[in-house]
Structure 1
Amino acid sequence: MTDRLHRFLFENADVRGEVVQLDESFTAITRRTDHEPAVDRLIGEGLAAVALLAATLKSACDLTLQLQADGPLRLLLVQAGSDGSLRAMARTGDRVPADVPIDEQAVQGTLAITIDPEKDGERYQGVVDLRGGSLGAALEHYFSESEQLPTRVWLSAREGHAAGMLIQRLPASDAADGDADAWARADQLAATITGPELRELAPGEVIRRLFHEEDIRLFDPMPFRFRCRCSRERVAAMLEGLGEAEMRETLEAEGRVEVHCDFCNEPYRFDAVDIEAMFTDPASRSPDSRQSH
């Protein structure tokens, strides 16, 4: 597993940062779909974004980034779990142009960040419009509006390589009184990073090249991986919710009911026996089977 997020902290200064690379997860997700390169790049940037955002959370949460628009890109949905799992999906209308500002790819789009605590705590959602020409700029706007923390974000994805970097100015503390220029210096140094460097250099090398004159504390890397949460049981529950009449109509027309997961494209097929069992009174089923007698 090569997908890792590296966190770092400026000693004696209220500045923290993260660098992430997600080549394996990005490749595992995009090879299951047939999107054009411009959409794949947005998926890669979204994966890097949720990994960076998830690493800033103090408690175990699921984090979802959702971009909705009128088109050509209609939907980008990317999720990160506190266990390091990642998944993503996209839906398009017309062809999504490459190398144009994101507000031309996702016309009249909005960006929502949703945080769902795994245990105690309230669900949180922040919504901002797209601005600044990129997903990274939209995330900076989100932090400015929702967190009131000065934050810079760089995202890059190309040909199986997805990466991102975040630096953030934390609320002032007594320990940082002697280095009032740390944030301005960190911002200026980080701004020299290029997309190819972010994708191709190891995260530790990125941090060393940018901040080699700073006193930096490095933390243990955080692993990420692609993992979809779909299952036959969840799909069956969804089909039951659609109702018996609709399932039987589909069965009569198609000979079976087939559903593909939007995230991993895994096919789930249900034949006449499966549908019969799905809508039969459980009391008439055998104890160890969904099939009816």
Structure 2
Amino acid sequence: MSDSINRFIFDNTDVRGEHVRLEKSYQEILTIHHYPPGVANLLGEFLAAASLLSATIKFEGSLILQVRGDGEIPLIMAEANSERELRAIAHDANQAMNLDFKSLIGNGQLAMTIEPKHGKRYQGIVSLAGDSLAHCLEAYFEQSEQLSTRIWLCADANSAAGLMLQELPSKSPDKDRWQHLVTIADTVKDEELLTLNADTLLYRLYHQDAVRLFDAKPLIARCQCSRERVEKALISIGQAELNDIIQEQGQIETNCEFCNRLYQFSPTDIAAMFDQNIPITRH
């Protein structure tokens, strides 16, 4: 499968890994917004990274990877949920001309947010000290999770991919073994990540090591927007302001910023949001 993620482990070590490749899902997301090349490639890296990170967590809900900076892209984010559904967006980035990470992002913060279906929301934040998304994520794990983690990300006009190695908590970590595995992974080329499946890639890298590859799990592009979510957002605006819009426009129309799906609300719909005795007419 071209759009899939694979977990792998090294026998007799406390090191795990994930490999992800995205093609169709990546292209579907790019088709919606038509970003400049540098923005599109970085969005691909965000999608690959969100996929890798969400696969390391046992939870029901969503993982959101977001960067706010003062560069050419004020805000860029990707989301992956426990159903392996992906979405992503870059705000106000149509005029971005550069290709390098620092010019696109500038100075700012990287936030990783976990929103479980049940339980408390968690967010970790680090500064954008690295010269790539992968380096910033590695710094996040070093500071926030205290887990040795290495990440390789890349994207082009056709696909996005990523590789991650992570040292699991252990009473007696084998640092020499960890360094050996990282040194080999450092030889991987972008072309290999973007074109090879997990089985072929891992054989090229670790044919002399005892590595065990698990079955691939599919990933798809699918927005998690819903009419109910939009209603909650409108309620937060307040009934008075919504009524003013109704007076001016006759109804309220809003598009999902991720997938461009149109949601329409009549005066009866708006009234029903604030009075449960009035039925909402669905469109």
Aligned counterparts of 2:156 and 2:69: Cα–Cα separation in 1: 23
AA aligned to 1:35 is Y
AA aligned to 2:180 is R
Deviations 1:209-251 (A, max 9, x none): 1111111111122222112111223323322332333334334
1:7 to 1:173, Cα distance in 2 relative to 1, 3 A = farther
Where structure 1 has 5 or more consecutive residues not aligned to the other structure, the ranges are: none
SS at match of 2:33: coil
Instruction: Indicate whether 1:290 and 2:280 are aligned.
Output: yes
Aligned counterparts of 1:188 and 1:111: Cα–Cα separation in 2: 26
AA aligned to 1:154 is W
1:57 to 1:233, Cα distance in 2 relative to 1, 3 A = closer
Partner of 1:211 in structure 2? 206
Task: Please report how far the alpha carbon of residue 173 of structure 1 lies from its aligned counterpart in structure 2 after TM superposition.
Answer: 5.4
Task: Please report how far the alpha carbon of residue 20 of structure 1 lies from its aligned counterpart in structure 2 after TM superposition.
Answer: 0.3
Task: Please report how far the alpha carbon of residue 44 of structure 1 lies from its aligned counterpart in structure 2 after TM superposition.
Answer: 0.8
1:126 paired residue among 93, 102, 124: 124
1:116 to 1:234, Cα distance in 2 relative to 1, 3 A = closer
State whether residues 35 and 93 of structure 2, in contact with CA within 8 Å, keep that contact through their aligned partners in structure 1.
Answer: no
Q: TM-score under structure 2 normalisation? A: 0.90
Task: Please report how far the alpha carbon of residue 61 of structure 1 lies from its aligned counterpart in structure 2 after TM superposition.
Answer: 4.3
Within-5 A mapping of 1:214-225: 214-225=209-220
Q: TM-score under structure 1 normalisation? A: 0.87
Q: How many residues align?
A: 279
Aligned counterparts of 2:34 and 2:124: Cα–Cα separation in 1: 30
State whether residues 103 and 131 of structure 1, in contact with CA within 8 Å, keep that contact through their aligned partners in structure 2.
Answer: no
Partner of 1:227 in structure 2? 222
Within-5 A mapping of 1:118-197: 118-120=117-119, 122-172=120-170, 181-197=176-192
Deviations 1:19-73 (A, max 9, x none): 1012122112111113212111111111100111111113444211110112311
1:269 to 1:215, Cα distance in 2 relative to 1, 3 A = same
Task: Please report how far the alpha carbon of residue 185 of structure 1 lies from its aligned counterpart in structure 2 after TM superposition.
Answer: 1.3
Partner of 2:268 in structure 1? 276
State whether residues 39 and 96 of structure 1, in contact with CA within 8 Å, keep that contact through their aligned partners in structure 2.
Answer: yes
Task: Please report how far the alpha carbon of residue 197 of structure 1 lies from its aligned counterpart in structure 2 after TM superposition.
Answer: 1.1
AA aligned to 1:290 is I
Where structure 2 has 5 or more consecutive residues not aligned to the other structure, the ranges are: none
1:236 to 1:172, Cα distance in 2 relative to 1, 3 A = closer
Q: Which moved more, 1:124-133 or 1:183-192?
A: 124-133
SS at match of 2:147: coil
Deviations 1:155-182 (A, max 9, x none): 11111301100012223356x76xx532
State whether residues 75 and 90 of structure 2, in contact with CA within 8 Å, keep that contact through their aligned partners in structure 1.
Answer: yes
Aligned counterparts of 2:113 and 2:155: Cα–Cα separation in 1: 23
Aligned counterparts of 1:139 and 1:117: Cα–Cα separation in 2: 21
Aligned counterparts of 1:61 and 1:181: Cα–Cα separation in 2: 36
State whether residues 150 and 164 of structure 2, in contact with CA within 8 Å, keep that contact through their aligned partners in structure 1.
Answer: yes
SS at match of 1:32: helix
SS at match of 2:134: helix
Instruction: Indicate whether 1:106 and 2:98 are aligned.
Output: no
Q: Quick check: which has more Rg, 1 or 2? A: 1
Deviations 1:55-109 (A, max 9, x none): 1113444211110112311111211111111111211267323332x22211212
- Name the % identity: 40
State whether residues 268 and 280 of structure 2, in contact with CA within 8 Å, keep that contact through their aligned partners in structure 1.
Answer: no
AA aligned to 1:188 is T
SS at match of 1:31: helix
1:16 to 1:277, Cα distance in 2 relative to 1, 3 A = closer
1:261 to 1:61, Cα distance in 2 relative to 1, 3 A = closer
CA RMSD of aligned residues (A): 2.2
Partner of 1:4 in structure 2? 4
Partner of 2:47 in structure 1? 47
